[in-house]
């Protein structure tokens, strides 16, 4: 099963923070040698990683310094299990921390260095969140222009995740968030605050972005071997990758635009790798004609392989 599967345009989409749950990745590690090797690598650098993924509490996994290395590990394990089964992507993208995993899988850094980098990223983002406490809310049923207009009426509320048609996440001052949610409701939308540990992808993360850039500039990060689409630009990485990988921490994730650009570039099959099915849902909302699959455990890996064969992708 290790042969390259010839097919047009497959993209791997690497899950981000918020998708984590206790038990994630366990069955992949039990059934896939490639996935097990990823968990062994993570434990060699950070001994608690597998335990936190397999049996950590929701509260433990919600702490950013734990979330990011754990989600990274499950993302990479799922991608490696797919690769082991003969599925090789023609391009990739990752949501927030998933972008760093996409770069790692695509050869921009080694798995070990990518893991060290995601640990550093999580530490700096948690420090920034403690210095500048923030809140986030998901807004449904409003256009980007409507959400941006509402944000303009608040001092420190910003649109930060353009997820899919009809869904945008905002980030900012916790003291203003209730009023923002009420204002969104008055315009016909629905806003719900999220259980997160900070005001991510906003100016509150500027210090973390600067500090992480210094870490990246001292790493061996290079351009990936396949196109990896950047959150900030919705275009493949080019030029100096460290700047883009650091900048996205404090800038919006243009996920809908990324998917639309990937579709224009010929991608027709999108496989989410890592915990949950959030990104698969965004694909279905944004590109209803595309084939949208996910791999987070052994069962979903087997199902995805069956679907690829049924669709003549394998």
Is residue 2 domain-resident? no
264 and 216 both lie in a single domain: yes
The Cβ-side half-sphere exposure at 223, using a 13 Å CA radius, reads: 8
Is residue 140 domain-resident? yes
| Sign (positive or negative) of CA dihedral 158, 209, 75, 227 | positive
182 and 216 both lie in a single domain: no
Containing structural domain, residue 185: 135-193
226 and 108 both lie in a single domain: yes
- What CATH number does residue 155 fall under? 3.30.70.250
Is residue 20 domain-resident? yes
Could you give the 3-state DSSP secondary structure of residue 101?
Answer: helix
Is residue 1 domain-resident? no
161 and 293 both lie in a single domain: no
159 and 58 both lie in a single domain: no
pLDDT, mean of residues 117-123:
98
pLDDT digits (tens, 9 = 90+) for 51-70: 999 999 999 999 999 999 99
Is residue 4 domain-resident? no
Q: What is the pTM of this model?
A: 0.95
167 and 83 both lie in a single domain: no
* Residues belonging to the active site: 96, 201
pLDDT, mean of residues 80-95:
98
Band the pLDDT of 275: cuts 50, 70, 90: very high
Chain mean pLDDT for the chain: 95
120 and 245 both lie in a single domain: yes
pLDDT, mean of residues 161-176:
98
Is residue 110 domain-resident? yes
284 and 155 both lie in a single domain: no
| Sign (positive or negative) of CA dihedral 25, 77, 136, 117 | positive
Report the number of distinct structural domains present in the chain.
2
Burial readout 257-296 (b: 16 or more C-beta within 10 A, e: otherwise): bbbebbbeeebbbbbbbbbbbbbbbbbebbbeebbbbbbb
pLDDT digits (tens, 9 = 90+) for 11-44: 999 999 989 999 999 999 999 999 999 999 999 9
Is residue 3 domain-resident? no
39 and 91 both lie in a single domain: yes
222 and 123 both lie in a single domain: yes
Domain final position from 163, 193, 223: 193
175 and 296 both lie in a single domain: no
- What CATH number does residue 249 fall under? 3.40.366.10
54 and 185 both lie in a single domain: no
Specify whether the CB–CB gap between 273 and 124 falls below 8 A: no
Task: Give the CA angle between residues 229, 13, 195 to the nearest 5°.
Answer: 105
Specify whether the CB–CB gap between 199 and 136 falls below 8 A: yes
């Amino acid at each position: 099963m290790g042969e390259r599967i010839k097919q047009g345009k497959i993209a791997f989409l690497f899950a981000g923070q918020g998708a984590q749950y206790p038990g994630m990745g366990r069955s992949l590690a039990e059934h896939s040698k490639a996935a097990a090797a990823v968990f062994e690598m993570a434990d060699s650098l950070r001994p608690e990683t597998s335990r936190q993924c397999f049996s950590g509490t929701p509260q433990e996994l919600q702490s950013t310094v734990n979330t990011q290395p754990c989600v990274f590990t499950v993302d990479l394990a799922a991608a490696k299990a797919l690769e082991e089964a003969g599925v090789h992507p023609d391009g990739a993208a990752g949501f927030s921390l998933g972008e760093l995993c996409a770069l790692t899988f695509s050869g921009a850094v080694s798995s070990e260095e990518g893991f060290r980098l995601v640990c550093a990223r999580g530490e700096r983002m948690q420090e920034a969140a403690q210095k500048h406490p923030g809140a986030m809310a998901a807004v449904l049923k409003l256009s980007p222009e409507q959400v941006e207009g509402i944000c303009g009426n608040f001092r420190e509320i910003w649109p930060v995740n353009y997820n899919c048609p009809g869904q945008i996440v905002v980030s900012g001052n916790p003291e203003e968030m209730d009023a923002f949610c009420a204002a969104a409701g008055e315009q016909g939308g629905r806003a719900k605050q999220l259980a997160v540990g900070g005001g991510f992808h906003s100016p509150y993360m500027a210090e973390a972005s600067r500090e992480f850039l210094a870490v990246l500039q001292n790493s061996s990060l290079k351009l990936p071997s396949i196109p990896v689409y950047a959150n900030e630009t919705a275009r493949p990485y080019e030029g100096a990758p460290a700047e883009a990988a650091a900048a996205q921490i404090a800038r919006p994730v243009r996920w809908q635009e990324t998917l639309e650009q990937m579709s224009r570039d010929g991608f027709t099959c999108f496989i989410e790798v890592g915990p949950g099915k959030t990104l698969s849902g965004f694909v279905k909302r944004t590109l209803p004609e595309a084939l949208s699959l996910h791999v987070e455990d052994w069962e979903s890996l087997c199902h995805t392989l069956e679907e690829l064969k049924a669709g003549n992708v394998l």
